[in-house]
Structure 1
Amino acid sequence: MSIARPAPILTITLNPAVDVSSETETVRPVRKVRTSNVRYDPGGGGVNVARVITALGGEAEAYFLAGGETGSLLNRLLQAQGIDSHLMPIQGQTRISFMVREHSTGLEYRFVPEGPPVQPRELERCLDIVASHKGQYVIASGSLPTDAPPDIYARMAKLASARGAKFVLDSSGLGLQTTLKQSRLYLVKPSLGELEQFVGRKLDEAGVRQAASDIVASGAAELVAITMGVDGALLASALGVLRVPAIHVRMRSALGAGDSFLGAMVWALSEGRTPEEAFRLGIAAGAAAVMKPGFELCRREEVLALNAAALSAVARSQTH
C-alpha cells in the first residue's frame, strides 16, 4: 500500500527577475567597466525560496508572473536547475537586476529595476493558484509589481487560510503593512529594516523584541522571524521570544541570505520540526548563503554542517 506524499510547498513570485552578477577591479564613472565571471541566475523572492527548498531535498512548485524574452530566459534558468516552475504570462518584460563586485574594495553594487506593471487579470491567476493548490504551505515572497494593489498578499492569505493552508509572507512596504492589518499569517519574515519601516521608527534590541511580540499578540501572525544580518535573528511566538546570534562565517556576498533563511525554515517546518528547530536551520542557511559569491544560494551539505556545529555549541554552553 503506497503512502500519499504531501503536496509540494507553493511559492508565489509577483515580481521576479533574471539576476546577473559579475566582477571587476574598480567601478568608475563614464568609462567602460569591463566585467568577468558573469553569472545568470533565476531571481525574485519566491523563486529563490523554491530553489532553496529544492536544494535541501524538499519539493516546491514555483509560480511566477513573467513576460517577454527575459521571462522565457528566467523559466529556462529555473528548469535547468531542476525547479518545478510554472510561468504565468504577463504583457510586460521581466526585469533584469545587475550586481557588480568591486575587487579593489570588496563592495557590491546592485542595480534593481522596479519591474513591469501587471494587469488585474494577470494577478487573478495567482489568486486562483493559491485557492486551488493542495500544498499545506504557501509562500509569497518579494516586492509588489508596479500598479499591483497593496492588498494582493492579504487576499492570498485569506484564500490559503480558507482551505487550511499556512500562509508565509516575506515582503516590505505597503504589501507587508496591508497584509498584517487585514489578514492572519502563519509566519512573517521581515528584515530589521523592513520591521523598522513597518513600525515607523528605528529600533534597538528591546524595540525589536517588543515590535515582534506585538505582531504576535495582535493575531496578525503566529510566528514572526526578524533577520538582522551579522546580528543574528529573533523569533517571536505565543511562547515568547528566542534570540539567536549569527553564525560567523567568511562572507563573500550578502545576496540571497534572507531567501535562504526563509526557504530552510519553511522546509524544516513542513518536515515536522518545531519552530525553534526550523528557525535555527534558517540561520544556518543564511550563513551558508553569504559564503557564496553573487546570487548563488546555500547548499544542503553546508547548511546541515553549520546547523550541527551551532547546535553543538549551544549544547556545550548549557553544560557549563
Structure 2
Amino acid sequence: MNPTIDVSYDVERVRHTHKMRTDNEWYAPGGGGINVARVLSRLGTPSRCIYTAGGATGPALDGLIDRHQLARTRIPIEGPTRVASAVLERETGKEYRFTPQGPHLGEDECRACLAALEEVECGTLVLSGSLPPGVPDDFYAHATALMRKRGVAVVLDSSGKALASGIEGGGLLLVKPSQGELAAFVGRPLENLEAIGAAAMAIVEAGRAQLVAVTMGHEGAVLARKSGPLLLPALKIEAASAVGAGDSFVAGMVHALVNGHDELEAFRWGIAAGSAAVLRAGTDLARPDDIKRLLEQVGAPVAHGEVEAGVFRR
C-alpha cells in the first residue's frame, strides 16, 4: 500500500549545512511487500507484487521492479510514490534512514486496491508495510476478510493502528510484530521474554492468528503457536545494515511454510533470512547463499520451561 524507491548512499561523515559528496549509490524497489517478494523470488518461490504507484516517481518504481524480474500488478494513484533514503556514515559505521510518510490515497483508490485483490490468484497473501495517509486503519482487516473468504492464507507485518486492526480482525496465518510493535499493541512495556511470550500467546489463544513471530533484533525472536511459545537467539554476526531485516525474516518463514516445512523449520528459516539481510549494507536484502549458510548455524527453538529464570513458564 505504501511502496518506496529505496536509495542508499555512503558518505565519509555526516555534517549539517555542508554539501556531502556521496558514493556507492544504489536504487531498489522497496516497501515491505516488495522486499518480501524480492527475497521470495531469490529463493525460487513464485510471487507477485501488488502495489500502488503514481506521480513522476511511479514509473521509476515500475522500472525498478521490472529490473528485479518480479511479476507485478500496479494500482495507479494520483500522488507520487515516495523515495526513502539510507545513508551510511563510514567514519562511525552508523546508518541514517529517512522515510517519507507517503502519498495520500482517496476513497476510490482504496476501493481499487481491494478490487485488485479480488482478481489475484494465490495461495498466500502477505500484507506488509505502513498504510499511507487517507487509507483507513482497518484496511488490512478488510483485505484479510476478503481473502479468507477465498481460502487464501494471510500473513500480516505492519505497525501501529494498521497492525492492531489487522490482529483484532483475526483470520491470520502469521503476524510478525517487532517487540516494540507488540508492546504498542498490548499497551504496556514488554521488558522480558516471559512478557513477550505471554503477549504473543494471547493473540494465538484468542484465535486471531495461528502463529505470532516477534522479532527482537540482536536478542533473536519468539514464536507463539497453539502448543506454546518458542525462542530462537540471534546469530552472532556483524551487522552492516538493518534495512529489510524484518521483511527478509517474513520471506524466510513464508518460503518455508508454502514449500511444506512445519512451523519450527519455518521459524529457523526466518532467523536465517533476517540475519542474512543485515550482513549487507544498503538495500540489498537477504541473499540465498547467505541464508542457507546461516541456516546451518540456527539451532533448534527453545521451548517454554527450558530457558533460564523460568522464561515462558505457563
TM-score category (smaller protein)? over 0.9
Aligned residue among 225, 248, 252 for 1:260: 248
* RMSD (Å) for aligned C-alpha atoms: 1.5
One-letter amino acid of the structure 1 residue matched with residue 232 of structure 2 = V
Confirm or deny: 8 A CA contact 1:186 1:222 kept in the other structure. Answer: yes
Runs of 5+ consecutive residues of structure 2 not aligned to the other structure? 303-314
Q: Paired residue for 1:45?
A: 32
Q: Paired residue for 2:49?
A: 62
Aligned residue among 267, 284, 290 for 1:279: 267
Matches within 5 A, 1:146-185: 146-185=133-172
Matches within 5 A, 1:178-193: 178-193=165-180
> Helix, strand or coil for the counterpart of 1:145?
coil
> Helix, strand or coil for the counterpart of 1:310?
coil
TM (norm. structure 2) is 0.93
> Helix, strand or coil for the counterpart of 2:296?
helix
Shift of 1:312: 8.8
Question: Which ranges of 4 or more aligned residues in structure 1 deviate by more than 4 Å?
Answer: 311-314
Q: Distance in 2 between matches of 1:99 and 1:164?
A: 38
Q: Paired residue for 1:26?
A: 13
Q: Paired residue for 1:113?
A: 100
Matches within 5 A, 1:76-225: 76-203=63-190, 204-225=192-213
Q: Distance in 2 between matches of 1:93 and 1:282?
A: 33
One-letter amino acid of the structure 2 residue matched with residue 263 of structure 1 = A
Q: Distance in 2 between matches of 1:97 and 1:63?
A: 19
1:240-270 residue CA offsets vs partner (Å, 9 max, x unmatched): 1110001111211111100000011111100
Pair 1:269-2:257 in alignment:
yes
> Helix, strand or coil for the counterpart of 2:14?
coil
How many residues are aligned here?
Answer: 302
Q: Paired residue for 1:6?
A: none
Q: Distance in 1 between matches of 2:119 and 2:236?
A: 42
1:154-175 residue CA offsets vs partner (Å, 9 max, x unmatched): 0010011101111110000010
Alignment CA distance shift 1:313-1:129 (3 Å): closer
One-letter amino acid of the structure 2 residue matched with residue 226 of structure 1 = V
Q: Distance in 1 between matches of 2:298 and 2:57?
A: 40
Q: Paired residue for 1:290?
A: 278
Confirm or deny: 8 A CA contact 1:130 1:138 kept in the other structure. Answer: no
Q: Distance in 1 between matches of 2:94 and 2:286?
A: 21
Confirm or deny: 8 A CA contact 1:118 1:145 kept in the other structure. Answer: yes
One-letter amino acid of the structure 1 residue matched with residue 273 of structure 2 = A
Q: Distance in 2 between matches of 1:183 and 1:151?
A: 12
Runs of 5+ consecutive residues of structure 1 not aligned to the other structure? 1-13, 315-320
1:26-57 residue CA offsets vs partner (Å, 9 max, x unmatched): 10111111111111010000010000100111
Q: Distance in 2 between matches of 1:171 and 1:215?
A: 15
